Amino acid sequence: MNRQVRFPRTARLVLPAVLAAGALLLTACSGGDAGDKEPAQGPLTKYMNALFEGEEYTQETFDKQQLEVEELVAACMTKEGFEYIPNPSNGGMVMASEGESEGPEWGTEEFAKQYGYGIIDWPGSEDVEAQPDEDEYVDLNADYVNSLSESESAAYYEALHGPQPTEEEMLAQQEDENYEYNWEEAGCYGAANNKVQQESNSYQAASEDPQFADLFTAMNEVFSVVYDEENPHEDVAKLNRDWADCVAEAGLSEFTSPNQAQQALFDEYNELQSAGGDNEEYVEPSKADKKKFQEREVEVAVADLACKKKLSYDDKLEKLQFELEQKFVDEHKAELDAMIAQYGTAAKKD
């Protein structure tokens, strides 16, 4: 399982719809009983894997796709009346997998005791953090943009990335849980990313096909009833109450579920990196603040994992999810078969 994908700060890349498939393919990766066993796959996950089998997500693959994006962007910008030099380094990324670094395995007790949830530090983090400094980003279009007037420059960036939202619109988007990115409003980059992803990514192509829109909507509901924090399945709600009672005994009464606990820690660290407000620039926390936060992170992660194991939390959650997946497959088998026949990796080879 890939741990992290890191994008350079200068790049504005679109996260493709395939990332939404993480709930399908990687659910078991976050389990508290991680170890040497392979993550289990539910009936629906096995179906959806046909959209990914044979596809390689390597650095070489990403580089090739980004070059295609840049060339499309250049053609688009020319049509808009601007010059643009394709810049493949816009899409540089580093992928670090668990097998590339020594250290305890994610999700284990040893990992929790040393790294907590892996928010500040994790095995191999030093290598990943060092990467951006090794290859300094160079904007090949900087001289051209600097030669433009203020109004021309604004038009250039609007053509490149689409109209920029106002502060009010950005705040509304952040607060709207149902907000969805629209590539049609993201200029040449949006159109280029969408085209390349459609051609290379079976999952995204299927998910954006109107013929299967209702199928994907129903599919999302299968997982939302298990992982929805506000309206969880009754079995999950009871399991979370038992878990909350367990961690409360360890002095952590402020948490209501494992997901909420982990998210709360991420939110705390984000606040620690703020200079005093939501719109403030990033500030590197002091060593003392980092140390204090990680001590709390470890405390919460260890208690979280201990209570999950005590309650067989992950096993019960997995059992419920697989039951719901099987029910969905039984009810939608004809539609799933039609989707796989059209977009499955085997179909792409024909």
Reply yes or no on whether the pLDDT at 53 is more than 80.
no
In whole angstroms, what is the distance from residue 89 CA to residue 334 CA?
A: 43
Say yes or no: 175 and 235 in one domain. Answer: no
Q: What angle do CA 111, 317, 296 make, to 5 degrees?
A: 35
Reply yes or no on whether the pLDDT at 7 is more than 50.
no
Say yes or no: 1 and 143 in one domain. Answer: yes
**Which run of H or of E encompasses 157?**
helix 150-161
16 or 64: which leads in pLDDT: 64
pLDDT class for 177, splitting at 50, 70, 90? low
pLDDT class for 16, splitting at 50, 70, 90? very low
Q: What is the pTM of this model?
A: 0.66
Domain of residue 192, residue span: 1-11+56-200
Q: How many domains does the chain have?
A: 2
103 or 250: which leads in pLDDT: 250
Decide if 60 is inside a domain.
Answer: yes
In whole angstroms, what is the distance from residue 18 CA to residue 322 CA?
A: 21
3-state SS class at 278: coil
Average pLDDT over residues 174-191: 82
Decide if 68 is inside a domain.
Answer: yes
Say yes or no: 217 and 270 in one domain. Answer: yes
pLDDT class for 223, splitting at 50, 70, 90? confident
Decide if 228 is inside a domain.
Answer: yes
Say yes or no: 175 and 222 in one domain. Answer: no
Say yes or no: 109 and 195 in one domain. Answer: yes
Say yes or no: 117 and 223 in one domain. Answer: no
Average pLDDT over residues 234-248: 96
Reply yes or no on whether the pLDDT at 240 is more than 70.
yes
Which of 200, 229, 264 finishes a domain?
200
Say yes or no: 235 and 342 in one domain. Answer: yes
Place of tokens 């005093």: 276
The mean pLDDT value of the chain amounts to 80
Q: Answer for the pair 2, 96: CB distance below 8 angstroms, yes or no.
A: yes
